[in-house]
Structure 1
Amino acid sequence: MKSRLNELIERSGYRKKYIAKEIGITPNQLSNWIGSRSYPPLDKAYKLAKLLNCKVDDLYVEETKEE
């Protein structure tokens, strides 16, 4: 799955540090989620989606392999 977090965060106008504080994580954790190195637990995903004014489904997109 590919993260859309960077795009959604830029669109929101919030700073990443602010977002991390609001949902109770470290900026490093948020960076890992943005880079798809790890994924948010469901409770944090809902908080993040609410803050970014989107649905949880919008946070990531499924990557498809081209054949």
Structure 2
Amino acid sequence: MKSRLNELIEQSGYLKKYIAKEVGVTPTQLSNWIAGRSYPPLDKAYKLAELLNCKVDELYER
């Protein structure tokens, strides 16, 4: 799966540091999710989707 997080974060206008803080992870962990090195647990994915004003399934594409 390809991450759409970077695109969605840019569209939101939020800083990555702010997103990481609101979701409750380190900026490094968020970077890993963006790069596809790891994936957020479901609870964090829902928080991301809420912050980015999208559905959870829109965070990644196949």
Do they superpose with TM above 0.5? yes
Runs of 5+ unmatched residues, structure 2: none
Structure 1 runs (4+) deviating above 2 angstroms are: none
Q: Secondary structure at the match of 1:53?
A: coil
User: 1:18, CA displacement in angstroms?
Assistant: 0.2
- Please, what is the CA RMSD of the aligned residues? 0.2
Separation in 2, partners of 1:13, 1:5: 12
Deviations 1:6-46 (A, max 9, x none): 00000000000000000100000000000000000000000
Counterpart of 2:28 in structure 1 is 28
Q: How many residues align?
A: 62
After TM superposition, the score normalised by the length of structure 1 is: 0.92
What CA distance in whole angstroms lies between the structure 2 residues aligned with 1:5 and 1:37? 13
Task: Give me the identity figure in percent.
Answer: 82
Higher helix share: 2
Larger Rg: 1
Correspondence 1:1-67 to 2 at 5 A: 1-62=1-62
Can you give the 5+ residue segments of structure 1 that lack an aligned partner in the other structure? Answer: 63-67
Normalised by the size of structure 2, how large is the TM-score? 0.99
